[in-house]
Structure 1
Amino acid sequence: MIYLKTPYQVRQLEKVNKIGAEFLQICYEYIKPGINTLELEDLARKFCEDNNVKSAFHNYNGFPHLLCVSIDDEVIHGFPIDRMIKAGQIVGVDFGLIKDGYFSDAAFTKIVAKVSHSTNDLVKVTEECLYNGIEKARVGNRIHDIAWAIQHTAMQAEFEVIQDYVGHAVGFELHEFPKIPNYVSLGVNWKLRPGMVLAIEPMIVEGSNNIYVKPNGWTVVTADHKNAAHFEHSIVILDEGPKILSRL
């Protein structure tokens, strides 16, 4: 079932997404060489306590952490465990909140100090994929318009799109129907309507889009161990166009 949100519900979703965006900004500025990713988990815990919100990820289908921290070849769902962030890495952070029954979801990838030209381009292009996809989230367009904008942007830069994991609607639950793929698939090409709230999240890789899941059962890694980048915003489709909810 596709849930179309009312103006009141959109306002509530914008509130929780703004709170989530505030944390992601804090987190982005905090990440630097020498930081232990455990510190990011502690940062998230304190932020949730101070703002009277809950992590949408913690215990979701058994996920053991408050946020995802994915480094280099980790595509998504990396664990904030005892490991140091080093210069020359890229670090992805994915974070969602629950407040009064409404969910937020957003992510970024940060370059830590200097990286290769290819990795720098990867991060830049993945963010471009996100905003090009958002631009197509308009009334009367279809899901495949979003998907093609993302896929085409990645292909032009000679990068690959992860196909096994996709975006989704969001709002009353963390993952709602329909799915929002980052490539043109054989799935139902739903028409976009006012009130749809979507989490658009391109996951783009330098090499092959073949992946595997680590023994922890969560962390998705590129099979060739080349780098991956991930950006995400939650947006609402309005008559006048898309509005990003998860941006300060």
Structure 2
Amino acid sequence: MIKIKTREEIELMRESALIVSKTLGILAKEVKPGVTTLYLDKLAEEFIRDHGAKPGFLGLYDFPNTLCMSPNAQVVHGIPNDKPLEEGDIISIDCGALKNGFYGDHAYTFQVGEVAEDVKQLLQITKESLYVGIREFKVGNRIGDVGFAIQNYCENHGYGVVRELVGHGLGRDMHEDPEMPNYGRRGRGKKFVEGMVVAIEPMVNLGTQHINQLNDGWTILTKDGKPSAHFEHDVAIVNGKPELLSTFKYIYEALGIESNEEDEFRQNF
């Protein structure tokens, strides 16, 4: 069952989402060759707790850490470890926070030093596809409209769109209805209504769409060993249109990037 949020609840969710956004912002300064994902995980847990929230992933379904850290061919759900990052790596950092009874859930794929041009292009197109999908999250549209838009955009660039893993509703539970696939057919699925809140998160591979899972029971990786990218925003429907609750601005401030990509998804209400 889809749980519709009030304006007041959406504002509480924005607080949770922004804690995650700020966490990713402090991590952006630290993602560099020689740094371990366990170190980044510790920084994230301390920051989240210092800001009056709890790590959203730690202990959820028995996950052992604060962050999902997925480098290179790992798609999502990688477990932090003591292996240093290397020049040319990419790494998806997925983070959750629980505050005021509501979750935030937000992800960004970072470059570690200088990466190959084809990998840079994968990251760029995947991030663009996130906003392509968000534009379709509005009153009157359906789940298939978002999935189709993301799938079409990525496949037109020759990339594989993961099928087995999807975005989701968000609220008092980390994973609520509806599921939000990154593929689909226009006009299919449940219709969007005012007050829905979802996490939209394209997971896109440089090669095949197919995936495998490691024996740790968590880590998902591409079947062909090629890199994968993952970007995620929390989005509410407000006044019939998509309203971002999360932001990449703290990441961009840390990295010295100027961007207006989020401007169309901000409203004053």
TM-score for both structures, normalised by structure 2: 0.89
Task: Specify the alignment match of 1:213 in structure 2.
Answer: 213
User: Relative to structure 2, which stretch is displaced further, 38-47 or 66-75?
Assistant: 38-47
Provide the rounded CA distance (Å) in 2 between the counterparts of 1:196 and 1:67.
Answer: 26
Task: State the percentage of identical aligned residues.
Answer: 38
The answer to whether the aligner puts 1:98 opposite 2:107 as a matched pair is no
Contact 1:142–1:189, Cα closer than 8 Å, also in 2: yes
Amino acid at match of 2:72: D
Cα deviations across residues 150-171 of structure 1 (Å, max 9, x unaligned)?
0011011110100000000001
Contact 1:92–1:108, Cα closer than 8 Å, also in 2: yes
Q: Which runs of 4+ in 1 moved over 4 A?
A: 185-188
Task: Specify the alignment match of 1:36 in structure 2.
Answer: 36
The answer to whether the aligner puts 1:241 opposite 2:241 as a matched pair is yes
**How many Å apart are 1:48 and its aligned residue?**
2.2
**How many Å apart are 1:44 and its aligned residue?**
1.3
Provide the rounded CA distance (Å) in 1 between the counterparts of 2:196 and 2:241.
Answer: 11
Structure 2: where are the runs of 5+ without partners? 250-269
SS at match of 2:26: helix
**How many Å apart are 1:117 and its aligned residue?**
1.9
Task: Specify the alignment match of 1:132 in structure 2.
Answer: 132
Amino acid at match of 2:83: R
CA RMSD of aligned residues (A): 1.4
Provide the rounded CA distance (Å) in 2 between the counterparts of 1:130 and 1:235.
Answer: 11
Structure 1: where are the runs of 5+ without partners? none
Contact 1:139–1:238, Cα closer than 8 Å, also in 2: no
Task: Specify the alignment match of 1:231 in structure 2.
Answer: 231
Q: How many residues align?
A: 248
Contact 2:49–2:55, Cα closer than 8 Å, also in 1: no
Query: Within 5 A, what are the aligned runs for 1:86-125?
Result: 86-125=86-125
Cα deviations across residues 113-147 of structure 1 (Å, max 9, x unaligned)?
22222111110011011011011111111111110
Query: Within 5 A, what are the aligned runs for 1:38-77?
Result: 38-77=38-77
Task: Specify the alignment match of 1:20 in structure 2.
Answer: 20
**How many Å apart are 1:239 and its aligned residue?**
2.1
Contact 1:201–1:232, Cα closer than 8 Å, also in 2: yes
Amino acid at match of 2:40: L
**How many Å apart are 1:100 and its aligned residue?**
1.8
Amino acid at match of 1:192: F
Q: Cα distance 1:110–1:153, how it changes in 2: closer, same or farther (>3 A)? A: same
Provide the rounded CA distance (Å) in 2 between the counterparts of 1:185 and 1:62.
Answer: 34
Amino acid at match of 2:23: F
Contact 1:212–1:220, Cα closer than 8 Å, also in 2: yes
SS at match of 1:177: strand
Provide the rounded CA distance (Å) in 2 between the counterparts of 1:49 and 1:19.
Answer: 10
Contact 2:23–2:48, Cα closer than 8 Å, also in 1: no
User: Relative to structure 2, which stretch is displaced further, 237-246 or 75-84?
Assistant: 237-246
Provide the rounded CA distance (Å) in 2 between the counterparts of 1:62 and 1:243.
Answer: 32
